[in-house]
């Protein structure tokens, strides 16, 4: 089964399963229960996939000397987040889709592509954070550190866009980089939305990485909603998505 090529794959499908009279799942309570279960399952799956990150960031002391280790611990986040985004999009195609199977299918399909620009982004962010942290010792002035901070924020937003694009489109790495930089500028609402989400995530990590883990499913859903205009524009202007959540290649 494949989706209609003319239908926006990032919006809910108009086609719904046939309703059965008296079916508990068709009531308000049934739908609410199913949605709660789905988000709890997604949160747990994200926590399992990102377990190395959660463990190491919890054990590491919040010290500037540990910046390289925080960057290294963040590597497993990319395939986990890509799988989460893939699962959120799949929910629009099939409301009854089992999140576990879809999540691991998305993980398997996207883990390599998700790391192509994520890892270089972490390297850049790690160098910038380390330089800013030890700027006094290195004799780096405040204006220079502010400029580095701005570049770091841009690199983080660029990496977030790149991860989303590589999850749903089979572009070459350089094309993903070009599109990420392009939409970073031409869609400021999307960029500011992702920036706001990163601020919330950073605040949660500052309190406890586990707090962010508990909100992983909801945060991933919001992230998909924020990025949806960009994804729709790419699909409309450049190509159709290469990953179809309703196609099972197993």
122 in any annotated domain: yes
Of the two residues 59 and 1, the one the predictor is more confident about is 59
3 state SS of 213: helix
Q: Is the pLDDT of residue 213 over 90?
A: no
pLDDT at 40: 92
Domain count, the chain: 1
26 in any annotated domain: no
pLDDT at 3: 46
29 in any annotated domain: no
How far apart, in whole angstroms, are the C-alpha atoms of residue 130 and residue 143?
16
Span 227-239, mean pLDDT? 92
Angle at 193 between CA 200 and CA 235, to 5 degrees: 135
43 in any annotated domain: no
Range of the structural domain that residue 172 is part of: 51-237
Q: Is the pLDDT of residue 209 over 90?
A: no
99 in any annotated domain: yes
pLDDT at 14: 58
pLDDT at 18: 41
Q: Is the pLDDT of residue 215 over 90?
A: no
27 in any annotated domain: no
Q: With bands split at pLDDT 50, 70 and 90, how would you rate the model's confidence at 22?
A: very low
- Among 43, 81, 32, 93, which residue's Cα sits nearest to residue 218? 43
8 in any annotated domain: no
Of the two residues 202 and 168, the one the predictor is more confident about is 168
39 in any annotated domain: no
pLDDT at 47: 92
Q: Which residues contact 13 (CB under 8 A, 6 or more apart)?
A: 3, 7, 92, 93
Q: pTM higher than 0.75, yes or no? A: yes
Phi-psi sector, 22: left (phi>0), alpha (psi -120 to 50), beta: left
Q: With bands split at pLDDT 50, 70 and 90, how would you rate the model's confidence at 250?
A: very low
Q: Torsions phi, psi of 199, nearest 5?
A: -65, -45
How far apart, in whole angstroms, are the C-alpha atoms of residue 221 and residue 219?
5
pLDDT digits (tens, 9 = 90+) for 144-199: 888 999 999 999 999 999 999 999 999 999 999 999 999 999 999 999 999 999 99
Of the two residues 87 and 25, the one the predictor is more confident about is 87
Q: Is the pLDDT of residue 66 over 90?
A: no
pLDDT digits (tens, 9 = 90+) for 70-89: 899 999 999 999 999 999 99
Q: Which residues contact 157 (CB under 8 A, 6 or more apart)?
A: 184, 191, 194, 195, 198
pLDDT digits (tens, 9 = 90+) for 94-105: 655 678 999 999
């Amino acid at each position: 089964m494949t989706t209609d090529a003319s239908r926006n794959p990032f919006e809910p499908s108009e086609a719904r399963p046939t309703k059965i009279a008296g079916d508990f799942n068709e009531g308000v309570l049934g739908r609410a229960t199913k949605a709660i279960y789905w988000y709890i399952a997604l949160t747990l799956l994200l926590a399992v996939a990102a377990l190395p990150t959660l463990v190491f960031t919890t054990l590491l002391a919040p010290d500037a000397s540990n910046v390289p280790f925080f960057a290294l611990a963040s590597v497993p986040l990319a395939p986990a987040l890509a799988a989460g985004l893939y699962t959120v999009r799949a929910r629009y195609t099939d409301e009854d889709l089992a999140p576990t199977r879809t999540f691991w299918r998305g993980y398997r399909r996207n883990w390599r592509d998700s790391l192509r620009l994520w890892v270089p982004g972490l390297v850049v962010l790690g160098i910038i954070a380390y330089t800013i942290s030890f700027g006094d010792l290195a004799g780096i002035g405040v204006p220079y550190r502010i400029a580095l901070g701005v570049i770091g924020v841009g690199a983080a937003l660029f990496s977030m866009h790149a991860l989303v694009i590589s999850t749903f489109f089979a572009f070459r790495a350089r094309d993903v980089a070009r599109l990420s930089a392009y939409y970073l500028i031409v869609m400021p609402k999307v960029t500011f939305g992702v920036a706001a989400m990163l601020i919330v995530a950073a605040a949660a990590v500052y309190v406890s990485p586990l707090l962010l883990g508990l909100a992983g499913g909801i945060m991933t859903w919001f992230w998909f909603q924020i990025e949806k205009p960009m994804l729709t524009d790419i699909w409309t202007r450049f190509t159709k998505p290469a990953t179809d959540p309703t196609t099972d290649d197993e």
